[in-house]
Structure 1
Amino acid sequence: MSPIGIFDSGLGGLTVFRSIAEALPQYDYIYLGDNSRAPYGNRSFNTIHQYTWECVQWLFAQGCPLIILACNTASAKALRTIQQKDMRGIDAYKRVLGVIRPTAEVIGNYSLTGEIGVLGTNGTVQSESYLLEIEKFFPQLKVYQQACPLWVPLIESGEYEKPGADYFVKEYLDGIMAQSQNIDTLLLACTHYPLIQDKIEAYLPKTVKVVAQGDIVASSLVDYLRRHNELEQKLSRSQSKHFFTTDDTIEFDHHASRFFASSVKSAHVSVTQLSC
């Protein structure tokens, strides 16, 4: 089998996986969540790179010729090093892609005022990856950022459904909206955040559009495979989906069903033995 590999530091990448599987149901997939070391958002560049590369190597070992980093923090802090350094000497037909560039290519099309906000983890915001990538495609667009460090822990633990979480949702939204009255689009630059999209929208003016990444990344992948036939032909097609976690499977399965919108049955795996 030659499945598409999808990686996230935890559960958030399942929101992207769901969109990809809906757009491209014919392929086989392996999802890996590094839950035992999540969240990645507050970790150093070197640590995020090390963890991400270990997980990429594990997915390569499972036969994946194409891997999607369905994690903004990993895409921001590890993808470039993996593509430009770690992949040297590896099969030229293997690819590792992220979620930031495909999002940056279209996000400006959502705004009428020319001003947008980016909500992400500390790691994503501090990397300024969105500022750099968006500027390439929409140089006139004004981009504001807001780190939301407590959102991922609240979502991963399931606490986001409780009323107490609303305080932290509103706090970060007030922070981003205070930067400009002309912001009319907010990008959820973390794949966990769609689970609280309803809460987010409830604290925003009706004129502000909230954009999640799942469908954007899925659409970009459809186009990528259309343009890279040599890679697309390597992918196996039996519509299988396999889920793996580096942490407790019962806990993973319980929470993953909310992200993936269907029942999930995972297996435990250790990835550190493949570390370089």
Structure 2
Amino acid sequence: MKIGVFDSGLGGLTVLTALTRALPSQDFVYLGDNANAPYGWKAPTEIYELTIAGVERLFREDCGLVILACNTASAVALHDLQVNWLNPAAHRVLGVFVPVIEHLTRRDWGDNTPPTHTGLRDVALFATPATVRSGAFPRELHFRARDVTVAPQACTGLVEAIEAGDLDRAAEVARDHVAALLARLPAPQSAVLGCTHYPLVEAAFRAALPSATTLVSQPELIAASLGDYLKRHPRFAGGTGAVRYLTTGDPAIVGTRAAVFTGAPVAFEAA
């Protein structure tokens, strides 16, 4: 069965790359909502409506399972989507926060026991303004881990620089945001790259953070988590390794810009 991968733009390609590497025989359909990117500045109601539209489009491609490879959509829209809109008997939609929080707390998502001391102390979160405003990441973390400080940093301008292909500028923006966060939290134990665009400038984050800080990037965690999920839900697994790329933007322009993420242009189709 095909698995959909949805993102507001091209950042989800970092997740898709990890997924295809970990699950080479799985079929995937990628959808970038490039016509409406970026989501980071949009109102929650608009993010929810755009996310629903993207998920519905992937359902029409016969995707039984959709991964929201967009932290903003996961933070702002996923809960209401799952509770108030989705028919879980027919389809499933998963976000990208769960694998990171499981990794940080060493607790399974289904563990609903009270929060415990996990050894986790100070966590820096680098994310889009909408993800930070949602408060979803610290809320879910505090459900599982006690006495943890989360310092969020809204990384304005970073997604835009990456989508434009200006990685030198993006690295400079990343370093500026690390400096702003360290002024508030000088020695974070862990730092989370809470946007799937950010792995493209992971080296800039790593160099700017203290050497003792553990840097958590999402793609490999998401791939491992999906592999475990498919073992428990094998009806979504299988295929021939086929991958299609859809966009709400101009396929030629988007395909060319995708080379920043994939190393070569990608043949996108109009969604």
TM over 0.5: yes
- 1:22 pairs with 2:29: no
Q: Is the 8 A contact 1:105 1:137 kept in 2?
A: no
- Measured in 1, the distance between the counterparts of 2:63 and 2:120 equals 42
User: Counterparts of 1:146-161 in structure 2 under 5 Å?
Assistant: 146-161=153-168
Aligned residue number for residue 194 of structure 1: 199
2:39 counterpart SS class: coil
Structure 1 pair 140–170 and aligned structure 2 pair: CA distance change class (3 A): same
- Measured in 1, the distance between the counterparts of 2:264 and 2:232 equals 31
Shift of 1:175: 1.6
Aligned residue number for residue 137 of structure 1: 144
Q: Is the 8 A contact 2:26 2:238 kept in 1?
A: yes
1:179 counterpart SS class: coil
Aligned residue number for residue 241 of structure 2: 239
* Long gaps (5+) in structure 2: 107-117
Q: Give the AA of the match of 1:93.
A: A
Q: Give the AA of the match of 2:242.
A: S
- Measured in 1, the distance between the counterparts of 2:35 and 2:173 equals 24
Structure 1 pair 58–178 and aligned structure 2 pair: CA distance change class (3 A): same
User: Counterparts of 1:1-276 in structure 2 under 5 Å?
Assistant: 2-87=1-86, 90=87, 92-108=89-105, 114-162=121-169, 165-229=170-234, 231-232=235-236, 235-269=237-271
Q: Give the AA of the match of 1:58.
A: R
- Measured in 2, the distance between the counterparts of 1:107 and 1:262 equals 33
Q: Give the AA of the match of 1:118.
A: L
Q: Is the 8 A contact 1:7 1:13 kept in 2?
A: yes
Question: CA RMSD for the aligned pairs?
Answer: 1.8
Q: Give the AA of the match of 2:183.
A: A
Q: Give the AA of the match of 1:179.
A: R
CA deviation vs aligned residue, 1:207-262 (integer Å, no higher than 9, x gap): 22322100111111111111223x33xx4411100001111112211221332345
- Measured in 2, the distance between the counterparts of 1:113 and 1:134 equals 10
- Measured in 1, the distance between the counterparts of 2:81 and 2:221 equals 23
Aligned residue number for residue 109 of structure 2: none
Q: Is the 8 A contact 1:113 1:183 kept in 2?
A: no
Shift of 1:159: 1.9
Work out the number of aligned pairs and report it. Answer: 260
Q: Is the 8 A contact 2:171 2:201 kept in 1?
A: no
CA deviation vs aligned residue, 1:121-155 (integer Å, no higher than 9, x gap): 00100111110111123223221111002100010
CA deviation vs aligned residue, 1:147-204 (integer Å, no higher than 9, x gap): 0021000100112324xx4542222111211222231321000000001111222222
* Long gaps (5+) in structure 1: 270-276
Q: Is the 8 A contact 2:10 2:32 kept in 1?
A: yes
Moved more, 241-250 or 254-263: 254-263
Q: Is the 8 A contact 1:108 1:141 kept in 2?
A: no
- Measured in 2, the distance between the counterparts of 1:103 and 1:136 equals 14
- Measured in 2, the distance between the counterparts of 1:161 and 1:151 equals 11
Aligned residue number for residue 115 of structure 2: none
* Alignment TM-score, normalising by the size of structure 2: 0.90
2:63 counterpart SS class: coil
- Measured in 1, the distance between the counterparts of 2:165 and 2:221 equals 26
* Alignment TM-score, normalising by the size of structure 1: 0.89
